[in-house]
Chains A and B, each alone.
Chain A
Amino acid sequence: MPRWLRRLVQRARAVFLGRRLDAELDEELQFHLDQLTQRYCERGLSPEDARRRARLDLDGIAGPRGDARDARGVNGLEDALHDLRLVARGLARSPGFTITVVSTLALGLLLFAAASVIQNAFLRQPLPAPDAERLQHVWYARDPGEREPVGLEHVDWSALSDVVEMADASIFARYLVRDEAATEELVGLRLARGSLDGLGLSVIAGRSLRATDFDEAVPPVLLGHRLWQERFGADRSIVGRVIVLRAALAADEPLAFRVAGILVPRFRYVREFSRPEIDIVVPNAGRESVYMVRLRPDVPVRAAEARITAAVRATPGVDAPASWPGVRLQSVHARYVQPVRPALRAAWIASLCVLILVAANVTILLLLRSLRRQPEIALRLALGAGPRHVWRLLLTEVSLLIASAAALGLAGAWWLLRATAPSLQRTLGRVAPGGDTSLSLDGATTAWIFGIAAVLTIVLAAMAVAAGRAPAAIRLREFRNVGGSRLERRARSGLMIVEVAIAIALLSGCALMVRTAASLLNADLGMRVEDIWRSRVALQESAHPDAASQAAFHARLVAAAADEGVTLGLANWPLFVEAARPQDVEVEGAAVAIVRAATTAASAGYFDALGVSTIAGRAINAGDDLAGEPVAAVSAAFAARAWPGTSAIGRRIRTVDRAMAGDPVGPWRRVVGIAGNVRQMPDDEDLLDVYVPYLQAPSLYAMVVMRPSDPAATLSPAWFRALVGRVDARVVAGSAVPLSSEYERTVAPVRWLAALLTAFGVFAAVLTLVGVYGITAHVTRQRRAEVALRIVLGATTRQTVALLMRHLAAVAVWGSAAGVAGALLLGGVLQSQLHHVQPFDSAMVAAIAGGVVIGAAIAAWLPARRATRIPPARLLRDA
């Protein structure tokens, strides 16, 4: 056996079998002693004299035993274990203190660990594609109403190969799969030829796509995991077989594909990671516009923008407006997480603030405990315990407390993340880039928590040792040092200032989000949400090639729903998904010639179902069709902007859709009605809306809203599919959902952040009050002799309390100042999440600061007042 291993075994035996080895050693030494005693008996001594003489010869047993134990080489470890047992017994005798310290610190570490993991999972984890950090989304239009250059598919990206490593022209496509039961619409991805290795395509069966697949007569495809499980029963034999689908826009033409492989679960297209999972990947040999590129390493984004812009302008066949500003590149990852970044940052900052508060409070509790243990420590030192041993005990106590809290906090964070990962992603409306596994406790976060615990241990142990030194009675001789040295006083005040500042900042952030949530939830949407269902229909171009046939279908659909007592409306923009795209609207004879407004094609049923009010004139009705006069309705806000002080009825407007190619100018339309202002999203601030009759501007895709006339009736997805199927079996019906649930989904992130910050704010406020109370109690205890003397010499209760609370004035001033600064900072972080709320409201912050200071004053007054009620004799005796 190697020497090091033998030593390790020996030391392990010494640690874990220490008592048995001690017993054997005692027996061995006793045997030796007995033999020597017998020798002396044989020489004529009495048994008692012989034993005494033998003990003298052998220096007793304790000395040899100690030397023999020392030879085992585990004294340090045994001492540590002994200290641990002693400290554990001591903490068990103070359950209130132990539970308070461990639980609050564990909670602080748990919240910080969980917030860190969540922030990292979204903001640091790359999207699941090769070299995803270099993927850039290409914006050709900088504003929603701007027109992109036409002919972008002609751009030769190979000429940009020095800056662009991959140019992805993949696009979404819809496919239909039919059986006797139903027609299902699939989310398809038409994969561009140059994107084979750039999108992270991985398969669990079969093979991935190859370059030769793009030229096959029967294209090989990859099936999505969900589709494979639900429609093909997870049967691997599907690989290699031919399946028949139909394109959503040309359902009469069957398309044959050969299944080449099965995608990994939950595969999404990286450029649009927020959209649903892909059901099928089809190779696309055609030319499409590129909307995503992967830059070469170390290529600056601005330089790439300039090169691409120049290439687009120089490409023959590309029609770019003269005013076109050029392309803008945006990190695909940044674009994906942009909506949740402020909320996650705010949550992380709040958790850090809470952790600091918790650490401050634990510090106070340990200081108080050390102060109370001064007599015990003095006694130990007097009985011969070395100072090092005493400080080692204090260090062991602090280490045990913090290690327990860290273990508990990490266990809690692991459980919390595991339990809430799915619901959190639903609330945020985003899947974590790394999937569910990234929302679990990782090594880096665990190491951070242990690092924080180690730093806390060192700092708190040092403070506990410092506080456990000479009792205050000794310092009483030097009167000015009663209450601690200048460093101690500044540390105490600093702690309170930090606590007050954090409480003010967090409560301010909480108030901002609560007001935002209230503003959003109380915002007048201008329409009803309850008892409304939303869905969509997709027509096929082959079956409905022109506006007349499309309008005819929509009219039949509305009539069929009316026959069943359901008011059905159509629009070209989905409610609570995105607001309608703003366009320029030319206004005839108005004070302003152009008003920028969101234009929605909506049917009569849209207004009826949603309860949108008609303020003047009439609403759009079923007679406003292709054969009728082009008309429009406008919102009250639009009418006030375009024709202030005059009636809008009878005026003329026309839309200018610069985002579309061809003639952007629409026909002149007569305004027939003024509708109430409507918010198409809870945070929709633009109330300038123009409505054109849907039957005069039909399209292949329509958003549908439905309301049963009988409030007790309940619609369902199956009912809607059946309704659409009866009108035209070739039309695809989307899944119907209650509009209220969609509304809740859009406000869920705000609610979540408001609830989170409220919890943090309240927790911080409680910790602050406890901390201030604790520090004042600490100061009061240190100065109890002084308090007793002052009372004896005639000081009133008010004077004594004021003396003990004198430190609070500086805390109030500096804490409030720092808190206001913190509120300003947090408001800046939250700005993009606010709705109708300014990021810094001086009155609100002042009220919060006042409340916190008053609360702190009360928390400080309580122990000070209590000290004045204790008889001076008792104060002096305890000093």
Chain B
Amino acid sequence: MSRPPDLVQGTLGLLLLRVLSLEPLHGWAIAERLAAMSQGQLKVSQGALYPALHKLEAEGWVTSEWAPSENNRRAKYYRLTRAGRKTLAHEVSNWERLSAAITMVVRET
């Protein structure tokens, strides 16, 4: 199996916001959900995941709280804030516009 492609620079924040828009999750679950939603195409390393989550928290787009996990271990859950939802909608719109433009150029015959 070929190695899944690396994340495009600058998109990790958007992906994390999108994952958290479904439900609050802890870091491990976020990484698993991202891999599942991308059918294994996107894998985020621990070294990139947690700094990115902390940056999102510093920006006020997510909040965190400690709670028992599904196996009764204490885990830190991240939740999207209202500002985060607005940012997500804005970033999704930007991404769709950008990807459409890139597709047009790439597919131009």
Contacts and interface: CB of A to CB of B under 8 A. Distances in A.
Interface in B58-84: 58-60, 66, 69, 73-76
Interface stretch (B4-12, B15-23, B48-56): B48-56
A59 B73 contact: no
A864 B54 CA distance: 62
Given A59-B47, A67-B47, A71-B54, A28 B76 contact: yes
Contact of A31 (B26, B48, B58): B26
A24 B55 CA distance: 16
Contacts of A486: none
A31 B50 contact: no
Q: Mostly helix, strand, loop or mixed at chain A's interface? A: helix
Contacts of A68: 50-51, 54
Interface string B18-61: 00000000111001000000000000011110110011001110
A10 B69 CA distance: 26
Interface residues of B, number: 21
A64 B60 contact: no
A31 B54 contact: no
Given A6-B58, A68-B54, A31 B73 contact: yes
Contacts of B75: 28, 31
A35 B28 contact: yes
A96 interface: no
Contacts of A70: 51
A873 B51 CA distance: 58
Given A25-B50, A27-B74, A68-B54, A32 B45 contact: no
B46 A64 contact: yes
B28 A71 contact: no
Q: Mostly helix, strand, loop or mixed at chain B's interface? A: helix
A627 B97 CA distance: 125
A418 interface: no
B46 A72 contact: no
A28 B51 contact: no
A25 B57 CA distance: 14
A584 to B, nearest CB: 92
B73 A32 contact: no
Contacts of A25: 50
B50 A64 contact: yes
B73 A29 contact: no
A64 B46 CA distance: 6
Given A31-B26, A34-B73, A68-B51, A59 B45 contact: yes
A7 interface: yes
A63 interface: yes
Contacts of A10: 58
Nearest to B73: A31
Given A27-B74, A67-B51, A72-B54, A1 B60 contact: yes
Contacts of B76: 24, 27-28, 31
Contacts of B59: 3, 6
A58 interface: yes
Interface in A60-88: 63-64, 67-68, 70-73
Contacts of B55: 71
Interface string A11-36: 00000000000001101110110111
A16 to B, nearest CB: 16
A410 B76 CA distance: 49
Contacts of B26: 28, 31
A32 B27 contact: yes
Contacts of A1: 60
A289 B47 CA distance: 91
Nearest to B51: A71
- With a 10 A CB-CB cut-off, give which of A6, A24, A71 has the most chain B CB atoms: A71
- With a 10 A CB-CB cut-off, give which of B28, B73, B74 has the most chain A CB atoms: B28
Contacts of A72: 54, 58
Interface of B: 26-28, 31, 45-48, 50-51, 54-55, 58-60, 66, 69, 73-76
6 tightest Cβ-Cβ pairs between the two chains A and B: A71-B51, A35-B28, A64-B47, A58-B46, A67-B51, A68-B50
23 contacts: A1-B60, A3-B59, A6-B58, A6-B59, A6-B60, A10-B58, A24-B66, A25-B50, A28-B26, A31-B26, A31-B69, A32-B46, A35-B28, A58-B47, A59-B45, A63-B47, A64-B51, A67-B51, A71-B51, A71-B54, A71-B58, A72-B54, A73-B58
Given A31-B26, A32-B46, 15 more contacts: A1-B60, A6-B58, A24-B66, A27-B74, A28-B27, A28-B76, A29-B46, A31-B27, A31-B75, A32-B27, A63-B47, A64-B46, A68-B51, A71-B51, A71-B54
